[in-house]
Structure 1
Amino acid sequence: MSAPLSASAEAFLTEPRVATLTTLRPDGSPHVVAVRFTWDARAGLARVLTVGTTRKARNLGAGPGGRAALCQAVGFRWVTLEGPATVHTAAERVAEGARRYTARYGTPPPAPPGRVVIEIAVDRITHLNLS
């Protein structure tokens, strides 16, 4: 993974905001969608809860080892977290994603049937105006 984030960048990633998640469609074109996510600096994982039938989950399932990027931006401050992404259905992984979501956003996430968690093993971090 890239060098550790500064304290201000880590704090920025705990604010209850949304980010854009970018995955690639089977034809190679980008699919960009707004999501809520969590960042686990210790594990180097970003997590996004979704349903397995969504385009983002299907994009990642179609190409194992596929990469994803999350970008949280506010004005001219931003952090992008990138890495290989995997869709998980295991109840304990989904529950961990939901626990972290609740801690970050203050309310439990929706729990629709077919809920999964996308885990991004972050190996590249870029940011601007967060020293």
Structure 2
Amino acid sequence: MAINPSQPSAGFLSFWREYHLCTLTTPRLDGTPHVVPVGATYDPQAGLARVITRKDSIKVANVLAAGPSGARVAVCQVDRGRWATLEGVATIATDPDAVAEAERRYAERYRTPDANPDRVVIEIALTSAMGRV
């Protein structure tokens, strides 16, 4: 079921506020998918999904390898028969304010993250969403 990521239903948004681990799919240089578990947050007002991670992670390298215009990615979560996917273009944010905002949102959904001077944010500018919640 297609969903406008900037105007989600209450149920879709609620599902993204529950504690669920997600998967992030990024493209490798050879085009094959790299899928890893992550914590992700969804901000429909900003049109973003965010993933905090280390600057030396493979997922960051995959996004950076796509160039300055970003990489097409998907972040998904599932809970039994309920599922949701957010798709968009990922870029890497290193600005301290962007990192702090992503950490704040992560803490709301999961737990307060440990301090990490190597932390960056994968910001996904959302283009589409789908799911069954």
With the length of structure 2 as denominator, give the TM-score of the two structures: 0.91
Alignment partner for residue 122 of structure 2, among 115, 118, 122? 118
Counterpart of 1:95 in structure 2 is 100
* Deviation (angstroms), 1:44: 1.2
* Deviation (angstroms), 1:112: 2.5
Higher mean displacement: 47-56 or 60-69: 60-69
Alignment of 1:1-131 (within 5 A): 2-3=3-4, 4-64=7-67, 65-105=70-110, 107-128=111-132, 130=133
Structure 1 SS opposite 2:17: coil
Moved over 2 A (4+): 110-113
Mapped partners of 1:75, 1:50: distance in 2: 27
Identity %: 47
Map Cα deviations across residues 79-120 of structure 1 (whole Å, 9 max, x no partner): 100000001111110000001111112x21133231100000
Listed as ranges, the gaps of 5+ residues in structure 2 are none
Mapped partners of 1:92, 1:50: distance in 2: 15
Aligned residues: 128
Structure 2 SS opposite 1:109: coil
Mapped partners of 1:75, 1:5: distance in 2: 21
* Deviation (angstroms), 1:57: 0.4
Mapped partners of 2:72, 2:113: distance in 1: 24
Mapped partners of 1:17, 1:78: distance in 2: 10
RMSD: 1.4
